[in-house]
A and B are shown apart, each in its own frame.
Chain A
Amino acid sequence: MDILMQLLMSGIALGMIYAVIAFGYQSTFATSGTLNFGQGEALMLGAMVGLSINGDVLGGPYTNYWLMIPLVLLFGALQGVVVEFIAVRPAIKSKSEFGWIMSTIALGIIFRNVAENIWGRDDMPFPSPLPTAPIHILDANVLPMELMVVVGALLMMLLVELFNRRSIYGKAVVATSSDRDAAGLMGINTGLVITFSYALSSMSAAFAGVLIAPITLTGASMGAVLGLKAFAVAIIGGLTSGLGVIVGGILLGIAETTTGFYLSTGYKDVPGLVLLLLVLAIKPSGLFGKTTIKKV
């Protein structure tokens, strides 16, 4: 087994976990200029609902892993609509610059407390739909589930991209992203588009939840650290670029594993944060982000 190869592979697998969560930050930012800071909790809720359907925590299992996914997607979409309706819409309506920050954070905390009361506070194993024995690729060991995270994340982003480019509804989303006021004048219901983008955002977070849960353990507090790291990835990659989150995620993942090995495991989170600071200092819109000029 080649050490560097193993570190790269593990870094990529970890990075794709961050990327798939970071993707959720993008879709709402594009349409409304707001972010759901409860993204980590949306991920956690998706994983917990998935575990309730697929595992035995609430009297299940009711279906297998693959049939559970559409149900979780549906739940995620509904959860996103709730977040938008309660936390974001009032802030947008009152043209509040920062109201949505506090209200999405607050809603995230409420979701976590509710989850603690329903599912308890302990971390639980999520039954893996694929074999748990590692497979050998390019001189490194990789878990089948890690491959599935990579494939699943790419597939999801591809589908969303296709939807945006090919369907009339997708075009409405793109139009709202480029200029909300003009899109509104063209007869697009931008409010509905924003609601939709929140549904999509939480849906992708919920999907990410069931995708990564077999690797990361499932519990009410699983979203906190992951949500924060994914936010860093979204900033590094750029909040407007799909490619950006993938590159940003992989960069951060590899930075963590290689620093841990070559420097010290006590410092493994430092390079990622240094990278974040550098990006903010040199190219604040992110590595792949479009620079936006705010007209005042």
Chain B
Amino acid sequence: MHFAIPKWAAPVLGVSLVTLALGAMAAEPIKVGLSGPFTGGSSPMGLSMRDGVRLATDEINKAGGVLGRKIQLIERDDEAKNERGVQVAQELINREKVVADVGFINTGVALAAQRFYEEAKIPVINNVATGSLITKQFLPPDYKDNYIFRTSANDGIQSHMIVEEAITKRHFKKVAILADSTNYGQLGREDLEKALAAKGIKPVAVEKFNIKDTDMTAQLLRAKEAGAQAILTYGIGPELAQIANGMAKLGWKVPMIGSWTLSMANFIDNAGANSNGARMPQTFIQEPNTPKRKAFIDAYLKAYHPANGRIPSPVSAAQGYDSMYLLAAAIKQAGSTNGPAIRAALENLKQPVDGVVTNYNKPYSHDNHEAITANIPVMGEVKDGHVVYAYEEDRKNPFHTK
């Protein structure tokens, strides 16, 4: 049999094959892991974070991607469980071959799973988890390079701000600590006690509660009998709501000051009017007071239509969004998707990244992997179902940089 190919066809075929191949190469996406709890009690934070990361990724891809390639998110649910987090890390590293990972809401999961990224030399940006230990797990001299970065305000910063607010600004002498029995609550309680000790103050009561506890009478009565003038909290939304509701039931109203979780929608909704006045450190408050923040809020609302125009966890969404831009900037600067090269670029970012939370100008160095410094977060306050600035001067001057 004989195929007659016209003479002109050969070069045309050849060229188009080459273009196809090039096209395929250019389209080969950069795989980035996105892990967090998308089910279970921490999911409001996990889902807001995921949506923030997706938003940033879409914008980056629409603008042409990085290194001429699109970013492809490989999303995995760690269910806020340590063992599941470990499986997810191994799957993302070994099967999906991601070049980096963003995510982690729960300190326990991060501490359990990060080891695998460190060993594989794949950078991780923690965008919500706050445990102080997270960025200090793999320090020299035991480990030459640390691959763990963070874009959230760690518990050291938060507990310091909480104590500063209660003792220095509002002059309370007697405070009680109410913390949940998880890793998050108990590590936070330690940080709070340390920060109080630095001011020469011992809490009049230190109480514990469990996830899903429905009655807080005993804890609150102990705090009340000890003469507490304020309650410092470390817990998550639903139980914090039960504390606020429990106070209303006892007819005892003292200020609640606590970690950033007091801004969670499931605290504010479930406590209703009882949530008014609660204060917490915030890296981001849903108010369009810079052009970048306005664009971010508008884009988020347009893409995801959250109920009542309110992002379920604005802090998680903003920190997730920024983490993706930082990663993209590092990949671009590194000129490759090689793990050590991305890490080196993150540690020495030449171009500032204009983020929602802050303007990241050299956010990391080889020995400091915390993008958020103590001056960046502001005090937020719950007011009629929304988180607003607690202080007028913060509202006027909301943008701080490292």
Contact = CB atoms under 8 A, between A and B. Distances in A.
A283 interface: no
B250 A141 contact: yes
A116 B217 contact: no
A256 interface: yes
Taking residues whose C-beta sits less than 8 angstroms from the other chain, chain B's interface range is 20 to 34
Contacts of B270: 123-125, 217
A129 interface: no
Given A6-B221, A7-B218, A10-B215, A122 B43 contact: yes
Contacts of B248: 132, 134
A171 interface: no
A268 B209 CA distance: 9
Contacts of A68: none
B383 interface: no
A219 B222 contact: no
B44 A268 contact: no
Contacts of A6: 217, 221, 250
B41 interface: yes
Contacts of B368: none
A215 B237 CA distance: 15
B14 interface: no
Nearest to B46: A121
Contacts of B265: 122
Contacts of A142: 249
A124 B40 contact: no
Interface stretch (A178-186, A194-202, A257-265): A257-265
A277 to B, nearest CB: 20
Interface residues of A, number: 39
Interface in A142-175: 142-143
B251 A1 contact: yes
A225 interface: yes
Contact of A224 (B208, B212, B215, B242): B212
Contact of A14 (B207, B209, B214, B237): B214
Interface string A249-271: 00000001111110011101100
A265 B43 contact: no
B215 A257 contact: yes
A219 B39 contact: no
Given A121-B39, A143-B249, A265 B215 contact: no
A216 interface: yes
Contact of B44 (A122, A125, A256, A261): A122
Contacts of A3: 221, 225
Nearest to A116: B39
Contacts of A225: 212
Contact of B251 (A13, A116, A141, A256): A141
Interface string B271-310: 0100000000000000000000000000000000000000
Contact of B242 (A134, A217, A259, A268): A217
A88 interface: no
Contacts of A257: 215, 217-218
Given A122-B44, A141-B251, A265 B266 contact: no
A126 to B, nearest CB: 9
Contacts of B272: 125, 132
A48 interface: no
A52 interface: no
Interface in A186-229: 215-217, 219, 221-222, 224-226
Interface string B192-214: 00000000000000011110101
A123 B237 contact: yes
Given A6-B217, A7-B217, A123 B238 contact: yes
A17 interface: yes
A8 B241 CA distance: 22
Contacts of A134: 248-251
Contact of A215 (B207, B214, B222): B214
Nearest to B251: A141
Contacts of A226: 214
Contacts of A143: 249
B329 to A, nearest CB: 33
A142 B188 CA distance: 32
Interface string A1-44: 10100110010011001000000000000000000000000000
B165 interface: no
B212 A256 contact: no
A261 B218 contact: yes
A265 B237 CA distance: 19
B221 A217 contact: no
26 contacts: A6-B221, A6-B250, A7-B221, A13-B215, A116-B39, A122-B43, A122-B44, A122-B265, A122-B312, A123-B238, A123-B270, A124-B269, A125-B270, A132-B272, A216-B214, A217-B214, A217-B238, A217-B270, A221-B41, A221-B212, A258-B218, A265-B207, A265-B209, A265-B222, A266-B208, A268-B218
Interface of A: 1, 3, 6-7, 10, 13-14, 17, 116, 121-125, 132, 134, 141-143, 215-217, 219, 221-222, 224-226, 256-261, 264-266, 268-269
Interface of B: 39-41, 43-44, 181, 207-210, 212, 214-215, 217-219, 221-222, 225, 237-238, 241-242, 248-251, 265-266, 269-270, 272, 312
Given A1-B250, A123-B237, A124-B266, 19 more contacts: A6-B217, A7-B218, A14-B215, A121-B40, A122-B266, A123-B238, A123-B266, A134-B249, A134-B250, A219-B238, A257-B217, A257-B218, A260-B219, A260-B222, A264-B208, A265-B207, A265-B219, A266-B181, A269-B210
